[in-house]
Structure formats: C-alpha cells, structure tokens
Amino acid sequence: MKFRAAYLLLLAASLLLLSGCYTVPETGRSSFIIPIGDDVALGTAAFADIKAKEKISTDPAANERVRRIGQRIAAAVGDALPGAKWEFVVFDAPETVNAFALPGGKVGIYTGLLKLADSDDEIAIVMGHEIGHVTARHGAERMSQGLMVAVGGVILDSATSGKKNHDLLLAGYGLASTGGILAFSRKHESESDYIGIRYAAKAGYDPRAAVTFWRKMAKASSPSKMPAFLSTHPSHERRIADLQGWMAQTLPIYEAAKLRYR
C-alpha cells in the first residue's frame, strides 16, 4: 500500500510539473492546465462528428446572418485563439435554444436560438459567450481539475485503507470535490459572460443586448428547483446583475467599435 501511495504521489507531482499556467484573455486570470491533448484537433474532430449527425440548415438568410456576425466576433477575438480556422454552422432544430463553440474556431448555432435572439446584437452576445469558453480554455481547465481530483481520491483511498474513518474520509472528499467543481463551473459561466460581452462590444454589437437576452431566457425557462450551490450555472438574476454591472466598462468599447461598422 505504501508503495502504491508513493507511486501515486509521484504521478501527481509529475502532472503538476507538466502543467502550466494559462492567462485567460480579457480577464487576465491564471488557470491551471495539464497538457492532455491537442485542443484544436479534438475540437475539429468533434465538430465534424456533430455536422455528420445533425441536420444543417439550408436557409441562406440564416446562414449568411450567422456567418456575418461570426466573422466580426472572430476579428474581435484576434490572436486569442491561435490556430483557429473559423467555421459558423446553423443547425436546423427549431426547438433547440442552444449554441456552442469548440477549439479551432468551430461555432454552431441552432435555429431555436435564432428565434429567441431576434437581434444581431443578442446573437453576438451568445456567440461571444460560447467563444469565451474556448479562448479561456475552460474545457481543458475542467479536465485538468478532474484529473487531479481523481488522483487525489485514489491517493486518499490508498493512504487511509484499513483505517477507522476510511469511508467517512472518502465521502467527505467526494462532497468537497463535487462542491468545488460546481463552483468552478459557475465561475466559468460568469467569466464567459464577461469575455463574451467584451468580444461583442469590440465587434460593434451592443453589450446591453446581453441583459435583454438573459431576461428572455429567464422568462422562457422553467423555475429551477435545484439549490444554487448545486447548480452549474449562475441564477438568471445573478447573471443579469453581473452583466449590468459590467456595462460601464463595455459600453465605451462598443461606442468606439461601432463607428467601424457603419
């Protein structure tokens, strides 16, 4: 058992040595990333798989609209997404109010979201938010955290095996880890909200559309019965309040940028 624990400690130390600090664009936050794979290659492969399985819209107006907004957001992102080969695809799913972005500059928008976000500004807000997750490397950060939590759990299991409070210690570790990961997810969502409105503003889209969009989302969503501390997303009220608080710094960016797109 001692040998196993020592081996796992060595593994954890090796992972820490391989890891690096990544500076999140727009916020300047330092994040912990373990190099697990090629983000761009994984994102490109995943996007190809989604396109093969989902129905792609043939509506020329919808496709042109999303492409036009996307190109402006991509210009605002600039060098924050190295290796990006931008691709904007509209998926024909009228009941799906969703969008996503993957490493490599791959962006998907569902027609259900286009119905809800009825202005270009609101679409830009959603697109900026999803791309914000990618430029912040939230996926890689969550994978890194999950890997370290898993290794930590195995080390604790090995170190306390046969001891009186073994099961209680493992249960406590599991609860604490779950709570930490959920809080981490909420922070990621808030960070992407912040990054997203800045990208939208830099692209000449009104950041105030973030407030109108999330009010629509709040109205369209069924009331959640899940306690806030178990949610992976901030409440609609918290999200709207945060967005309103960031307007003072994003509106000047928008006012300067919109002159370029008249």
Which residues are marked as active site? 130
Beta bridge partners of 90: 109
β 106-110/20-23 pair status: unpaired
β 99-102/106-110 pair status: antiparallel
What are 148's two structure tokens? 């370290």
Say if CB 113 and CB 99 are below 8 A apart: yes
Buried b (16+ CB within 10 A) or exposed e, 17-44: eebeebebbbeeeebebbeeeebbebbb
What are 223's two structure tokens? 């009331």
